[in-house]
């Protein structure tokens, strides 16, 4: 046989360069049609890398620092793309749109382009074909944004993939979506505004906020520099000062540049340059060294290199290079005139040629011989690949050991017993009806639910139906017979069929013990048939009061995604993209529709903006409509469409949840109730590392990593185990529980499993974690559809819980992100030849079912899911507690918010804060940047009103703890919650701003009641409260005590008065005993 000789050099390639500072290359574009790429330290011909004379005027230019593209916009309406080191070789060129002069160009974060023109047109174009729209762009790609007199339009791209348009002479600005310039980003205010005077310069910050300069009143003095919030251009970003500043002589500002941390370099026509941080335009960042003057002309373009040098291009074509640390000092390189006739500098584009990562090393062809896996190391991993290739080539059965031997085979069988874990009950069949815990689903002849009940309520107002139309005329189907079969204690299936003219549909609905229904449609076009195919789910308007919908994003970013279903008639809500989760319901029950993708649908490309889902109000009905096809299905081709339905609540909440779902110590709690459950994030976080090691081996492992070796794997204990063990023992001594931090789809970069299986397991659109200072924290996303699921379940089942004696797991980054990795079967090719990703709902559901079983095999163990207002019943069925609230982190921590009443109205509270309609215990995480008693009480007035526990973090801990103390002492742990929204309500009040919720039968004693009374008005006052005696089990003659002041409230005609400040609350106990 042939033996290949492979030489493996045992060496390590380091990416860091030693010695002298590495110069950036800088591309300088001039208005007279020339471009030069030069060394920042040598602007002369000696330092030139490339140059080109294009022979026609250049109006605009931009660069892509990632791939080295230089994009040029010419006066004749043509454009071209070249590389910075090969300026004369075009990657693409051609006429853009109607061929009018291109005033500006911008490069989006994904490399695609925007052009603008002197006639007010904007064009979205591909960086590989400037005459065509980018692949996947939401049309139209040509837009007349402004017309009429002087419609000169300019553009800037945002790192958030937003785009800023500026009509300079017309004094208007717009913020638009990067992939759809027809629309503003969702939820943005004042996305199009008018200015007082002509706009002369623009810039987008790293935060997405914008910087604009406005000409002075007389054109020569009084020019102002503004910083505005991208989400509301009428105001500065929260906490920013000095917006509207006049700098120096107040001359016309033509050029603004910035550093990575948003230090602005601002140049005006007087030849002055100013340094200011964007968040404070009034203060010099470096006193005495934040100003330069004496330039013969004003700057028209500037840029900052990676070496913190400022390259300054003047109106007369001269280039200067100054150090950012000494802006008014000596030249870093001798200045040079790049034009012969005082033609201005159009753009300055820096490029750092130093490879900063392995991809760049590979792209530059600098990999070492023997680096078989192209990870920029030559080490034992490459030897493993060589051995694997050898063994595979010669069919050696031992080859599989290298790919699977590190994962015990037994792991693949864990988490499947018992089939129906507590508290669920076995599936029961009664004719066409399938009964699961607290719910019943009756199937019709089409194989779809025709009736659903949950928590004793009728969910549907009529059958779920598929409807077909041809030329706007509805086609009536012939419906088959329902066949319902019990498959096991944990599942049943219903089958049915429909036959439309030219189209047949066979349906299979699989329902499992938690009530989740997987619906599979097999659609076959048998002739000329429908050109529209929709799914209608009708609910009564009495049942469907609330909505929660999302595409794995925080619902705060889309105000109509959570809260009350919009009022009105006809279409009251719609989306022009796939929303994978839509829940409709009330504070007791609901119904979730979900889908992993549009696979099998007959719809326009995913990049278009056709309506996919809508909610329609008709009389007493609320109908969810899903558009499955808007064109004819291909003849003779069976297509499968899969979606799900899930009635909620999914399970009963544990009876002791108000006692045991406590995180952190509460010293004011009564001793008998001190049962503090503690979340402990171990050193390095777990990040999916299945078998972390002991402290004694950390140094050895780090050495291995630094030298490109697989980390040493002897004593299989968690990193930092002595600390963890001490914490665990202390918590257990207090009667509490300790949780293992276990993200469901992240695997540590340094783990041997990632090195072996990383590409095979990659979750292509998932979220990893990066920490520049501690690589133990770094992780990559891995997919639950891969073998990773077995490793995750097996490690928790065999090590985390039984050996290390943890009491459950805490799940973070807990969403079914999209994946299109064909290596483990994810994704599909759509009708337009594009591979699409699918939300990993179904494999993650399987992972969670297994996790629930292995965790609950340990007495008292439980699962906490960090959900942040993105409820997904098919997955979250299998958590015990849900932590929400982090969705408001940006509002409070970044945007300067102080009042939850602003962003969390009562209808959103009923949707996002409560747990009873979902089937998990609700926990709330505050996000105040500055803790204060008043604002903390404002938050408590919302959260306590909705029967949720609150963590005493990021708020005034005293206010949280004292409220908990009162509720514990009064017996809310063993009681029945009655909300202000229930019918009848627990009490009425003399003001519409007063809301009252109650806990009846406190401590399990009839006639003992706790009232949570809140004032949602702005002003305080004395209010009359009338308890609902019958509903609360009270008899006349009760006594009431306001707990905060231990003050008896006078009973007058079975009512009492209480004083409440604005946006505050009080706790009152009432007893008939």
**What average pLDDT does this structure show over 533-545?**
97
Confidence of residue 190 (pLDDT cuts 50, 70, 90): confident
pLDDT tens-digit series, residues 789-825? 998 898 889 878 887 888 888 888 789 999 999 888 8
User: What pLDDT is attached to residue 670?
Assistant: 41
**What average pLDDT does this structure show over 880-894?**
89
pLDDT at 76 over 80: yes
- With tokens 């952190």, the residue in question is 664
What percent of the chain has a predicted confidence (pLDDT) above 90? 61
pLDDT at 171 over 80: yes
Among 517-526, 767-776, 834-843, 1051-1060, the range scoring the smallest mean pLDDT is 767-776
Whole-number Å distance between alpha carbons of 209 and 234: 12
pLDDT tens-digit series, residues 1001-1034? 999 999 999 999 999 999 999 999 999 999 999 9
pLDDT at 235 over 80: yes
Residue with more model confidence, 398 or 349:
349
User: What pLDDT is attached to residue 704?
Assistant: 58
Confidence of residue 398 (pLDDT cuts 50, 70, 90): very low
Rounded to the nearest integer, the mean pLDDT of the chain is 86
pLDDT at 724 over 70: no
Q: How many CB atoms lie within 10 A of CB 1020?
A: 13
Beta bridge partners of 224: 214
- With tokens 């499992």, the residue in question is 512
Contact partners, residue 1052, CB within 8 Å, separation at least 6: none
| Structure tokens belonging to residue 772 | 């520049």
86-95, strands of its sheet edge to edge = 58-63, 69-74, 78-83, 86-95
pLDDT at 395 over 50: no
CB burial of residue 702 (10 Å; 0-12, 13-18, 19+): middle
Confidence of residue 406 (pLDDT cuts 50, 70, 90): low
Whole-number Å distance between alpha carbons of 708 and 377: 6
Three-class DSSP category at 756: helix
Whole-number Å distance between alpha carbons of 664 and 961: 10
User: What pLDDT is attached to residue 931?
Assistant: 84
User: What pLDDT is attached to residue 722?
Assistant: 64
Distances (CA, A) of 420 to 431, 517, 620, 666, 857: 22, 16, 38, 36, 12
Whole-number Å distance between alpha carbons of 866 and 951: 13
8 A C-beta contact, residue 383 and residue 19: no
Residue with more model confidence, 680 or 833:
833
Highest mean pLDDT of the ranges 215-219, 441-445, 968-972: 441-445
What percent of the chain has a predicted confidence (pLDDT) above 70? 84
Query: Any idea what DSSP says for residue 921?
Result: E
Whole-number Å distance between alpha carbons of 950 and 961: 9
Three-class DSSP category at 379: coil
8 A C-beta contact, residue 948 and residue 924: yes
**What average pLDDT does this structure show over 287-308?**
91
| Residue from 255, 321, 264 nearest 38 by CA | 321
CA atoms within a 13 Å half-sphere pointing along the CA-CB vector of 75: 11
User: What pLDDT is attached to residue 1014?
Assistant: 98
Predicted model pTM: 0.64
Highest mean pLDDT of the ranges 15-24, 806-815, 988-997: 988-997
User: What pLDDT is attached to residue 520?
Assistant: 96
Confidence of residue 549 (pLDDT cuts 50, 70, 90): very high
pLDDT at 330 over 90: no
Where residue 497 falls (left for φ over 0; alpha for ψ -120 to 50; beta otherwise) is beta
pLDDT tens-digit series, residues 646-699? 999 999 999 888 877 655 444 444 443 334 344 444 333 333 343 444 444 545
Distances (CA, A) of 861 to 120, 689, 736, 810, 857: 63, 21, 11, 11, 8
Beta bridge partners of 173: 166, 193
Whole-number Å distance between alpha carbons of 933 and 939: 10
Distances (CA, A) of 21 to 40, 308, 330, 1014, 1072: 11, 11, 18, 63, 82
8 A C-beta contact, residue 238 and residue 894: yes
Domains of the chain: 90-194 (2.20.25), 442-541+549-648 (2.70.98), 657-700+717-971 (3.20.20.80), 972-1073 (2.60.40.1180)
356: phi then psi, degrees, rounded to nearest 5: -110, -5
User: What pLDDT is attached to residue 368?
Assistant: 56
């Amino acid at each position: 046989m042939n033996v290949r000789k492979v030489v493996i050099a045992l060496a390590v390639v380091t990416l860091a360069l030693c010695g002298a500072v590495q110069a950036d290359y800088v591309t300088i574009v001039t208005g007279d049609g020339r471009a030069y790429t030069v060394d920042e330290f040598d602007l002369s011909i000696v330092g030139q890398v490339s140059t080109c004379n294009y022979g026609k005027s250049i109006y605009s230019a931009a660069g892509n620092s990632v791939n080295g593209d230089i994009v040029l916009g010419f006066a004749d309406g043509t454009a071209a793309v070249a590389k910075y080191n090969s300026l004369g070789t075009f990657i693409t060129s051609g006429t853009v749109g109607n061929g009018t002069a291109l005033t500006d160009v911008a490069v989006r974060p994904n490399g695609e382009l925007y052009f603008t023109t002197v006639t007010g047109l904007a064009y979205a174009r591909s960086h590989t074909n400037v005459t065509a729209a980018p692949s996947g762009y939401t049309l139209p790609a040509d837009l007349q944004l402004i017309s009429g007199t002087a419609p000169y339009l300019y553009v800037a791209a945002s790192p958030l993939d937003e785009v800023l348009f500026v009509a300079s002479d017309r004094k208007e600005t717009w913020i638009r979506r990067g992939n759809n310039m027809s629309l503003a980003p969702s939820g943005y205010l004042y996305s199009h505004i008018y200015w007082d005077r002509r706009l002369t310069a623009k810039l987008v910050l790293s935060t997405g906020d914008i910087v604009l300069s406005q000409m002075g009143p007389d054109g020569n003095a009084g020019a102002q520099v503004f910083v505005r919030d991208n989400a509301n251009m009428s105001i500065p970003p929260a906490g920013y000062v000095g917006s509207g500043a006049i700098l120096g002589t107040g001359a016309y500002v033509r050029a603004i540049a910035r550093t990575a941390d948003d230090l602005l370099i601002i140049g005006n026509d007087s030849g002055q340059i100013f340094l200011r941080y964007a968040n404070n335009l009034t203060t010099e960042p470096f006193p005495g060294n934040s100003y330069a003057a004496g330039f013969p002309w004003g700057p028209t373009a500037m840029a900052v290199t990676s070496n913190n040098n400022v390259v300054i291009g003047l109106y007369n074509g001269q280039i200067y290079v100054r150090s950012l640390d000494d802006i008014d000092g000596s030249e870093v390189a001798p200045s040079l005139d790049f034009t012969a006739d005082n033609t201005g500098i159009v753009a300055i584009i820096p490029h750092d040629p130093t490879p900063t990562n392995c991809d760049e090393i590979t792209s530059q062809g600098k990999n070492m011989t023997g680096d078989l896996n192209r990870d920029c190391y030559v080490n034992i991993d490459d030897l493993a690949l060589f051995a694997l290739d050898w063994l595979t080539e010669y069919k050696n059965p031992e080859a599989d050991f290298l790919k699977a031997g590190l994962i015990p085979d037994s792991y693949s069988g864990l988490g499947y017993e018992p089939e129906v874990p507590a508290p669920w009950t076995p599936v029961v069949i009664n004719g066409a009806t399938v009964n699961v815990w607290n719910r019943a689903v009756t199937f019709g002849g089409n194989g779809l639910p025709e009736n659903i009940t949950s928590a004793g309520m009728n969910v549907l107002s009529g059958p779920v139906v598929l409807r077909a139309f041809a030329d706007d005329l509805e086609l009536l189907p012939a419906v088959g017979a329902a066949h319902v079969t019990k498959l096991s204690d944990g599942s049943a299936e219903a089958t049915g069929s429909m036959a439309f003219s030219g189209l047949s549909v066979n349906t299979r609905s699989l329902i499992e013990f938690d009530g989740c229904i997987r619906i599979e449609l097999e659609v076959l076009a048998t002739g000329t048939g429908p050109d529209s195919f929709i799914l209608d789910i009708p609910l009564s308007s009495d049942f469907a009061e609330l909505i929660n919908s999302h595409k794995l994003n925080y619902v705060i970013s889309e105000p109509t995604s959570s809260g009350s279903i919009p009022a009105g008639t006809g279409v009251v809500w719609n989306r022009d993209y796939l929303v994978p989760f839509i829940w409709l319901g009330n504070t007791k029950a609901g119904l979730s529709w979900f889908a992993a993708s549009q696979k099998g649908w007959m719809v326009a490309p995913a990049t278009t903006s056709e309506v996919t889902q809508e909610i329609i109000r008709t009389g007493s009905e609320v109908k969810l409509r899903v558009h499955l096809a808007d064109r004819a299905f291909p003849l003779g081709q069976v297509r499968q469409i899969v979606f799900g339905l899930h009635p909620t609540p999914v399970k009963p909440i544990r009876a002791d949840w108000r006692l045991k779902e406590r995180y952190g110590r509460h010293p004011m709690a009564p001793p008998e109730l001190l049962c503090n459950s503690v979340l402990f994030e171990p050193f390095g976080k777990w990040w999916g590392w299945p078998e972390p090691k002991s402290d004694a081996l950390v140094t050895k492992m780090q050495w291995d990593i630094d030298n490109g070796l697989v980390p040493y794997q002897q004593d299989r204990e968690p990193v930092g185990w002595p600390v963890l063990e001490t914490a665990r023992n202390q918590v257990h001594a207090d009667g509490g529980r300790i949780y293992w931090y276990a993200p469901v789809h992240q695997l540590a970069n340094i783990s041997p499993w990632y090195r072996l299986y990383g590409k095979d397991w990659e979750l292509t659109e998932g979220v990893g974690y990066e920490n520049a200072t501690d690589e133990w924290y770094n992780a990559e996303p891995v997919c639950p559809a891969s073998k990773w699921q077995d490793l995750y379940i097996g490690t928790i089942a065999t090590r985390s819980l039984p050996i290390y004696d943890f009491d459950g797991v805490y799940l973070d980054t807990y969403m079914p992100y999209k994946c299109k990795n064909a290596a483990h079967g994810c994704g599909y090719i759509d009708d337009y030849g594009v591979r699409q990703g699918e939300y990993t709902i179904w494999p993650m559901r399987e992972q969670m079912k297994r996790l629930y079983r292995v965790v609950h095999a340990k007495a008292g163990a439980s699962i906490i899911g960090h959900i942040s207002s993105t409820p997904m019943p098919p997955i979250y069925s299998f958590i015990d507690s849900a932590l929400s609230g982090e969705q408001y982190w940006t509002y409070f921590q970044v945007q300067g918010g102080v009042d939850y009443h602003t962003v969390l109205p009562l209808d959103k509270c009923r949707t996002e804060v409560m747990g009873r309609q979902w089937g998990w215990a609700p926990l709330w995480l505050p996000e105040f940047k500055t803790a204060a008693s008043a604002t903390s009480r404002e938050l408590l007035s919302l959260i306590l009103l909705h029967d949720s526990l609150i963590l005493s973090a990021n708020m005034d801990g005293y206010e949280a703890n004292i409220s908990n103390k009162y509720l514990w002492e009064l017996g809310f742990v063993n009681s029945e919650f009655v909300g202000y929204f229930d019918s009848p309500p627990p009490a009425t009040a003399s003001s519409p701003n007063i809301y009252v919720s109650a806990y009846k039968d406190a401590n399990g004693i009839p006639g003992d009641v706790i009232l949570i009374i809140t004032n949602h008005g702005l002003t305080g006052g004395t209010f009359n409260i009338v308890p609902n005696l019958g509903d609360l089990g009270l008899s006349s003659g009760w006594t009431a005590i306001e707990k905060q002041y231990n003050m008896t409230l006078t009973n007058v005609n079975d009512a009492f008065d209480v004083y409440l400040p604005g946006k505050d609350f009080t706790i009152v106990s009432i007893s008939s005993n």
